[in-house]
């Protein structure tokens, strides 16, 4: 039986944002792994309306994770950074590894510099990323000075299908942020394809998350 990776998504366009740029590449490199997708876009909608995951959202994520395990998943990855609190809650009910796609990115960013800039376009993503960075700094025994920038207009452009404007706004914010930090963390999957050269290292979710999944699956 193939090892199984279950992905929990919170946006209807997960194929475009997660599978096309990263999932299919992962599948090609790991043909022995079965990918399973679970999607509920109400999770992010409700979280955005309430400035973070509600108890009801957290319960649903727990149920999805338990269903994934019951369906034979060996590893579970949530592709939404906003769901960090829900993922941590779900882990306590599982006997298989579960993580958020931004956790490996956080470890890399903390290792690379003390002054970390978070760039987000979704208000609920920034606090989730900051929590991860601070927790990772404690784990690594390092100091973390965090600056956060949120450009909601960029996300509105993305939702409207205006990808060029979205990418331009994000690139401009990255250039400004780079002037005052050692590294930049782009926690959202929607920012994972931004191509912009700035004066500091930029860490994105996506490949690092799938690489971590591959490492966990190799132990199955």
pLDDT tens figures, 94-125? 999 999 999 999 999 999 999 999 999 988 88
Q: Same structural domain for residues 140 and 165?
A: yes
Candidates 87, 30, 94, 99; CA nearest to 60 is 87
Q: Same structural domain for residues 108 and 87?
A: no
What pTM was estimated for this model as a whole?
0.89
Q: Same structural domain for residues 154 and 171?
A: yes
Candidates 146, 157, 127, 130; CA nearest to 51 is 127
Predicted pLDDT of residue 180: 95
Q: Same structural domain for residues 96 and 8?
A: yes
Q: Same structural domain for residues 87 and 148?
A: no
pLDDT digits (tens, 9 = 90+) for 121-135: 988 888 889 999 999
Look-up of token digits 């298989």: 96
Number of domains within the chain: 2
Question: Which residues of the chain are modeled with pLDDT < 70?
Answer: none
SS3 track for 53-72: CCHHHHHHHHHHHHHHHHCC
Q: Same structural domain for residues 184 and 122?
A: yes
Q: Same structural domain for residues 187 and 111?
A: yes
What is the Rg, in whole angstroms, of the alpha carbon atoms belonging to the chain?
Answer: 17
């Amino acid at each position: 039986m193939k090892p199984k990776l279950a992905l929990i998504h919170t946006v209807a366009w997960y194929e475009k944002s997660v599978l096309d740029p990263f999932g299919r590449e992962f599948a090609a490199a790991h043909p022995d792994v079965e990918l399973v997708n679970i999607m509920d876009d109400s999770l992010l909608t409700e979280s955005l309306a309430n400035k973070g995951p509600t108890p009801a959202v957290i319960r649903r994520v727990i149920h999805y994770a338990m269903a994934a395990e019951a369906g034979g998943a060996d590893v579970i990855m949530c592709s939404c950074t906003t769901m960090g609190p829900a993922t941590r809650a779900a882990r306590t009910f599982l006997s298989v590894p579960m993580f958020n796609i931004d956790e490996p990115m956080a470890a890399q960013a903390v290792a690379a510099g003390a002054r970390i800039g978070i760039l987000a376009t979704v208000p609920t993503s920034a606090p989730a990323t900051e929590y991860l960075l601070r927790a990772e700094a404690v784990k690594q025994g390092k100091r973390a000075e965090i600056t956060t920038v949120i450009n909601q207009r960029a996300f509105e452009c993305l939702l409207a299908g205006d990808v060029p404007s979205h990418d331009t706004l994000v690139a401009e914010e990255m250039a400004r942020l780079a002037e005052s930090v050692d590294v930049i963390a782009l926690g959202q999957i929607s920012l994972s394809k931004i191509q912009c050269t700035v004066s500091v290292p930029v860490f994105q979710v996506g490949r690092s998350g799938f690489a971590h999944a591959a490492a966990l699956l190799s132990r199955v």
